[in-house]
Amino acid sequence: MGNNDSNDEERRKLLISKIAKFRLFDDDFMSKVFEDDIEATEFLLRTILERDDLEVTESKGQVSVKNLRGRSVRLDIKAKDKDGKLYNVEVQRADKGARAKRARYYSAMLDANALLPGRRKKDNAVPLEKEGQDFDALPETYVIFITENDVLKGNLPLYHIERRIEELGLAFGDESHIIYVNGSYRGNDAIGRLMHDFSCTDPDDMNSDILAGRARYLKNGDKGARQMSIVMEEFGQEERRDQSEKFAIKLLEEGSFSISKIAQLSEIPEERVKELSEQRKEAVLA
């Protein structure tokens, strides 16, 4: 009993020390700072979009969205404003995590989950137009990557990516926007101050009272620290689960083991191994 108490106390101290080192560039911490906090999310989007009139109505952290094949991605922040516009904010410490095609994919996922699917009648899907929800109902979307480094190498605070009609020199007008925020920028302006705050481990060093208050609550408040401890526990479990599934997929690719044997070796349920096997077959046929 004494040993267990001692181990729990050591573990708690380790978690607290890790939480103290978190910055807004750490996606799990960033997601909790903005999750369900309209004021903080509104401040973030107003600063990046340079819009004082933007009003956020919803902000969710670590939102899973699925494509038609059932593959899911986890959005750091998914927000909505009073006009129905959708926002996905991602923080990326590694340059490879903010590649162009990833931004394109996240933008597509926002679109794919914005409209109700057509009803299925035998093997044919009823078009969205027949459901009274045509493609003009797609909301305006913003995918915002806040990168720790200047991944686009232009030495600028912001990069706005828009589709254009090249021959006419006009905007395409599909209302799909991608923005990169250079996290290494430290100019004496709103973006520079925001990126400074994203790099702070100590809330007292932050410029924004709104962000400092949220960070302080999660780092120093008993309830907030408990929330972060739970998040870290869940993240650790998820990492272990991902590693087990990657191992199972490797064994499936080898083709030398039965489903039940793979389940035993990877320590994941047999039903999940069957799902991974089916997904792998679909990917090969696609």
Mean pLDDT computed over 219-230: 66
Q: Copy the structure tokens of residue 55.
A: 């009003």
Q: Mean pLDDT in the chain?
A: 84
State pLDDT tens for residues 153-184.
999 999 999 999 999 999 999 999 999 999 99
CB distance 106 to 143 below 8 Å = yes
CB-based burial, 96-115: b 16+ in 10 Å, e otherwise: eebeeebbeebbebbeebee
- The structure's pTM equals 0.74
d(CA 92, CA 51): 24
Are the CB atoms for 41 and 59 separated by under 8 Å? yes
pLDDT in tens, 15-73: 777 888 899 999 888 999 999 999 999 999 999 999 999 999 999 998 888 765 556 78
276 pLDDT more than 60: yes
> What pLDDT, on the 0 to 100 scale, is given for residue 114?
82
Radius of gyration of the chain (CA): 22
For the chain, helix, strand, coil in percent to 5 are 50, 20, 30
| CA–CA separation, 276 and 281 (whole Å) | 9
